[in-house]
Structure 1
Amino acid sequence: MTTEELLIAKWRNLSPDKQQEAIAFVDCLSRPNTDSPLGQKLRAIRAKILESGIPLLTDRELEQEIRERRGDREASY
């Protein structure tokens, strides 16, 4: 079995959500690596979180967490 055939066989066993993740991953691989070291570190952290299955915060949840960490506990939605 060629590498391409193996990839296609594995692709067919993925759920639609996992197929979208695979597409995003391949897109990421094909982009030139122009990230700063910090950007690379943050992307690696994000990838580990996604692999763990922990859901990412929404924009709203992230803003709320930032406010709370800064001590503004009264400002909530």
Structure 2
Amino acid sequence: MNTEQLLLEKWRLLPPERQQEVIDFVEFLELKKATTSRQAAEPKSKSTLGERLQQIREEIVASGEPLLDWEGVEREKAERRGGYQEDVE
């Protein structure tokens, strides 16, 4: 007995509401497969800005300059805006 025959035999033994659940599940799997296939087929496009930012990042990494963490970004932003002050104790 092949898989299809086995599935059909088991499905016939189910009450109608359970048969509908099986149909719903199969439709869910079809939808999931279609969504996954569509996402895989669609190229991941970058905006011009995104491409430029990636290029800048690669240049910084190649230069050996360390990338800023979030704290460093906030500090640099505050310095440029004139609001950063070292904690003095």
Q: Normalising by the residue count of structure 2, what TM-score does the alignment of the two structures yield?
A: 0.44
User: Greater RCO between the two (CA within 8 Å, min separation 6)?
Assistant: 1
**Number of residue equivalences:** 45
What is the alpha-carbon distance in structure 1 between the residues aligned to residue 72 and residue 55 of structure 2?
21
Q: Normalising by the residue count of structure 1, what TM-score does the alignment of the two structures yield?
A: 0.50
Q: Max radius of gyration: which structure?
A: 2
What is the alpha-carbon distance in structure 2 between the residues aligned to residue 39 and residue 75 of structure 1?
33
Considering only aligned residues, what root-mean-square deviation do their CA atoms show, in Å?
1.8
Task: Specify every segment of 5 or more residues in structure 1 that has no aligned partner in the other structure, as ranges.
Answer: 1-31
* Greater than 6 Å deviation, 4+ residue runs: none
Instruction: State the identity %.
Output: 42
Q: Which residue of 2 aligns with 1:41?
A: 52
Task: Specify every segment of 5 or more residues in structure 2 that has no aligned partner in the other structure, as ranges.
Answer: 1-42
CA deviation after TM superposition for structure 1 residue 72, in Å: 0.6
Conservation of the 8 A alpha-carbon contact between 1:67 and 1:75: no
* Mapped pair 1:52 → 2:63: yes
